[in-house]
Amino acid sequence: MAKTTALIFGYNKYAHEIMANVVDKYKHVKIYSLHEEDVEKSDGRVEIFDLSDEWLEIRKDVDIENSMAFCLLEENAQNIFLTISLRANFENLTIIAVASNNESANKLKMAGANKVIPIVETTSDIITNMLEKPISSKILHSILYEESELKIAQIKIDKESHFKDEQLTSIDWTRYNGIIVLSVMHKDMKSEFIYSSKAKHHIIQEGDILVVVGYEADIAEFEKKIGSKRYVNWSHWSW
């Protein structure tokens, strides 16, 4: 059965992006914040909650079996505590959490999160940039609901590639419909997200590898357009 209620804990940049992309997928969306000022400025859309809550109100008002919780608090310790509390009280609740680093991601998984979305400081704008493209909401949906249609592939830049000797910031990525370019991997195998400040000034060289997400047909078309071939291909998106 499809989930009918989205429970969003946190009222920040990531919460707004999640809200914009799940509002039409759920019958109910409930937003919670630790801060009274968020409740006051939200015109009643946000409810206050406390990390010591016993979740009596949620038990009374929400069908937990058909709900999905998003733990989006900015403090890692708070997010982990929230996840532990939700899992302890709601055994069958689906929990999605964001993590600022690998250590927090591991702790969130141990705390009971079903899926963890890693977000680091240098990539804080990736979600915003990705969500400007139509395919992005489908990617987010696939991440959350584990669909298998989307693929992730590594495209190696050949010496004949149109991207060779181009600066990342000079490329109009919107020309490549259905494709999200996530990162560039250098010859030394160091990887950088394309929206990081350092990667923006990178000159694409032969041997660089672009990590892309999209549907099979779109990835194949992307390869043709840029004159390069995929280096590694995975059958579906996974964590």
pLDDT tens-digit map of 157-216: 888 888 888 887 778 877 787 787 777 877 665 667 666 666 667 888 888 888 887 788
Cβ contact 180:133 at 8 Å: yes
CB contact set of 67 (below 8 Å; sequence gap of 6+): 3, 4, 5, 6, 7, 93, 94
Average pLDDT of every residue of the chain: 77
Locate 33 and state its tokens: 């914040």
Whether residue 69 has pLDDT greater than 90:
yes
- pTM of the prediction? 0.54
Q: Please tell me whether residues 86 and 14 are part of one structural domain.
A: yes
User: Which CATH number is 44's domain given?
Assistant: 3.40.50.720
Q: How many whole angstroms separate alpha carbon 129 and alpha carbon 140? A: 13
Please check whether residues 158 and 216 belong to one and the same domain.
Answer: yes
Give the residue from 73, 99, 119 where a domain finishes: 119
Q: What's the mean pLDDT in 21-41?
A: 85
Comparing CA positions, the residue from 142, 163, 161, 162 lying closest to residue 152 is 142
Q: pLDDT class for 122, splitting at 50, 70, 90?
A: very low
Confidence of residue 136 (pLDDT cuts 50, 70, 90): low
Contact partners, residue 69, CB within 8 Å, separation at least 6: 7, 8, 9, 86, 90, 93, 94, 95, 96
Residue 179 is assigned to a structural domain of this protein:
yes
**Is 191 strand, coil or helix?**
strand
Query: The CATH number of the domain where 226 resides is what?
Result: 3.30.70.1450
As for how many domains the chain has, the answer is 2
Label residues 2-23 b or e (16+ Cβ within 10 Å = b): ebebbbbbbbeebbbbbbebbe
Q: Which helix (H) or strand (E) segment is 180 a member of?
A: strand 179-185
178 conformational bin, left if phi > 0, alpha if psi -120 to 50, beta if neither: left
Whether residues 94 and 162 share a domain: the answer is: no
Q: Which domain holds residue 166?
A: 151-233
Q: Is residue 196 part of a domain?
A: yes
